[in-house]
Structure 1
């Protein structure tokens, strides 16, 4: 393997891990957090979601959230000319859709929730839309993970069977 191919493989692997972590966040919200909160009264629901929205804004989460996008973009550039680059491009497009959904829908809903005083009105405004768009984010980020895994497998096969492979 050349140094370039090692860095290419590292970036693709890191993109896959970061994407998996973010897909997992959206998945756990869809499967556990939001259904559990749905059982709560309006005051508890609004308070817990406000707390989650506060604590999720931390460097570890942002590393994965932005890292998945940036690492996938870098990987797509590094793999230009490779036949399996389309898997990475598809992953990038899918995650970009989820990223834009977060920025355009979920974050504004979070901000609205933070600024509303009446928990019943806040929940009515927030819950249904946020949950639906989170499912979209979970779906597209899961597609992105699958595409990156496929690219990683194909990259690994190409490295093993290439003349420079070990």
Structure 2
């Protein structure tokens, strides 16, 4: 198998995984957080705390974390094996995922999740903490959703050649 075929296989897997991530973050943007917002704050905080614990599982975490180095590897190899135009699409996909999805999660959403984990659902400040968390977390989740979707589109364009 030549390098171009290997890169194509990697790019195909990357595209599928980007689709999973885009759908995951999109679901939070359009329904999960809205459903939690309709609950009393103590219930919403407890539910989000549970979601944040459960999401760190053997199915989500390897895809979410592994997609960053996979996309970087795919982009680097694409410059060695593909024509410039599809290689640039691969690089754009990698940049969008690594900066707009992965880094935003690590720098913005995870610290907010960690702070929410310390909120006492029965505490007097739970409602205020939830309101502040919800609006900020959603803003950054929209960034992750759009970045993942844009990365998916770029990866698909790179596969087109």
1:103-122: CA deviations, max 9, x gaps?
Answer: 01100000000011132133
Structure 2 match to 1:138? 145
Matched-pair contact (CA < 8 Å) for 1:18–1:68: yes
Instruction: Note if 1:110 corresponds to 2:116.
Output: no
Matched-pair contact (CA < 8 Å) for 1:50–1:113: yes
Among 130, 133, 137, which residue is 1:126 paired with?
133
Structure 1 match to 2:39? 40
Structure 1 match to 2:22? 23
**d(CA) in 1 for partners of 2:18, 2:69:** 10
Structure 2 match to 1:88? 90
Deviation of 1:23 after TM superposition, in Å, equals 0.9
Matched-pair contact (CA < 8 Å) for 2:4–2:78: no
How many equivalent pairs are there? 153
Larger radius of gyration: 1
Structure 2 match to 1:11? 10
Deviation of 1:5 after TM superposition, in Å, equals 2.8
Structure 1: tracts of 5 or more residues without a match: 155-166
Deviation of 1:4 after TM superposition, in Å, equals 2.6
Matched-pair contact (CA < 8 Å) for 1:23–1:145: yes
Matched-pair contact (CA < 8 Å) for 1:26–1:134: yes
1:66-109: CA deviations, max 9, x gaps?
Answer: 22212111111111152211101111111122211100110000
**d(CA) in 2 for partners of 1:29, 1:54:** 15
Structure 2 counterpart SS, 1:40: coil
**d(CA) in 2 for partners of 1:52, 1:70:** 25
Root mean square deviation, CA, Å: 1.2
**d(CA) in 1 for partners of 2:136, 2:89:** 30
Deviation of 1:60 after TM superposition, in Å, equals 1.1
